[in-house]
Structures are given as C-alpha cells and as structure tokens.
Amino acid sequence: MEFRALLPLTLLLFVEPGFGQRGDADIDGVELIKFLNEKLKLVERLQNAVDALEVTGLKSRLISTEEEIDKLKQNSAIGAPRIAFSASLANFGEIYKGPCTDKVLIYKRVFSNTGDGYDQSTGIFTAPVGGLYFFSFSTYGYNTHAMGALLMKNGVSQISTYDGPTSDGSDSSSNAVALQLAAGDVVHMQLWDNGRVYDNLNGHTTFSGFLVFPV
C-alpha cells in the first residue's frame, strides 16, 4: 500500500477539529507548517515500516521456496529408489520356447537389473518397494504355432500379445502397461497354451520394466 498517494486525506484526518478553519484570526502560519511537517514525517515512518514488513515477508517466502526445492533435489537424487531391468530370452545361439507344461518365460540375457528386482533364474520380477511400475515386452515366433505371451501379476493375467498359426513366415508383437504394485508383488511372462516364441542374440523376445515413482 502506498501511503504517499493518500497523503492529502491522511493529513486532513490528523488535523484537529477546528484547526486552521476559515475565520480563525489567531492561526499561526508557522505552527501550521510545523504541524503538517510532523504529520508528514509520521506518514513516512509508517510507509517505511510497511516496506520493511513487505521485504521481510518476501525474504521468508523465498527461503521457504528454496528449502522445498532442496528437499525435492535430495529426494530425486538420493531418496527415491532406482529400479529398472531389461532382458531377452536367449543369451546365446537360438532358442524356441514351447509348447510346454511350464509356460513361464525365463529371460537369460540380462541387459540391466538396477535394484535387483528381476531374478534371471526364475524369470520373475519382485517389486522391492510399492509404487507405479511400467512394463513392456515383445514376442516373436513362426507360423507353425500360436505366437505370444501374457504378462502376469501375482498369477493373474494383465495384458498379452497373440497371433495364431498363419500362412506368413513369422510374426512379432509387443505390448506395455503401467501397474501399481505393493512391495513383494511379482510379475512374470508366460506362454499361451500350445504357444511358442523364438529368440536369438538379436533380442526378438524381450521383457523390461522400471519404477515410475514410489507410492
């Protein structure tokens, strides 16, 4: 608020009733000027006090904002868990998987496994912490069998790829999903009944996932 803009009104409010009214023959001009100067100084002191309060408030808000930014930086750089993995089915040569009784796909060629959530001996990803996770996978196969796989969360199918036997030579497909997991939830891939997939070192059949953010 700018007090100087209200100075004429403020001075009128400070003037005592009857002081300086027309017809008062005993008004001393020097005393009036002195009186007005005192009121002007008072207004200036009030203005300075308001300015000081505004500066103090701005500094306080700035400090608070900087503290919040520092907390966010610390959480993103240190506190937030880092969890991600990516793997393909074949770690050497060529591999055909299926049809078979044990339909779990075990991806042996691990490209990354930050946080050690993926177990390459079982093909199962176990969530180290609760949060929103993103998973993607690709499948490749030939026309002699159904081609595709299902992404399973705690034993329940979530999404899949599929292509039945066809006259073309081969088929490939991919899919992705964001899932909310609790710590200890498990995710894995498995074949369709009577299905088959193929992979080699070109990485046609893959499985990947990462933590988007903890909850």
Tokens read off for 159: 């999404």
What is the spatial distance between Cα 135 and Cα 127, in angstroms, rounded to a whole number?
Answer: 12
Supply the pLDDT for residue 184: 98
pLDDT digits (tens, 9 = 90+) for 77-115: 557 899 999 999 999 999 999 999 999 999 999 999 999
Q: What is the secondary structure of 129-165 as a DSSP string?
A: S-EEEEEEEEEEEETTSBEEEEEEETTEEEEEEEE--
What is the spatial distance between Cα 148 and Cα 208, in angstroms, rounded to a whole number?
Answer: 16
pLDDT digits (tens, 9 = 90+) for 53-84: 777 777 788 888 888 777 666 655 557 899 99
Tokens read off for 150: 């299902």
The C-alpha torsion from 46 through 49 and 50 to 56, rounded to 10°, is 180
Residue 17 has pLDDT above 90, yes or no: no
Cβ atoms of residues 114 and 87 within 8 Å: no
Q: Does this model's pTM top 0.75?
A: no
Task: With cut-offs at 50, 70 and 90, classify the pLDDT of residue 3.
Answer: very low
Percentages helix, strand, coil for the chain (3-state, rounded to 5) are: 30, 40, 35
Domain boundaries, the chain: 4-78, 84-214
Cβ atoms of residues 130 and 214 within 8 Å: yes
Identify the CATH class of 84-214.
mainly beta
DSSP 146: B
- 10 Å Cβ neighbour count for 87? 25
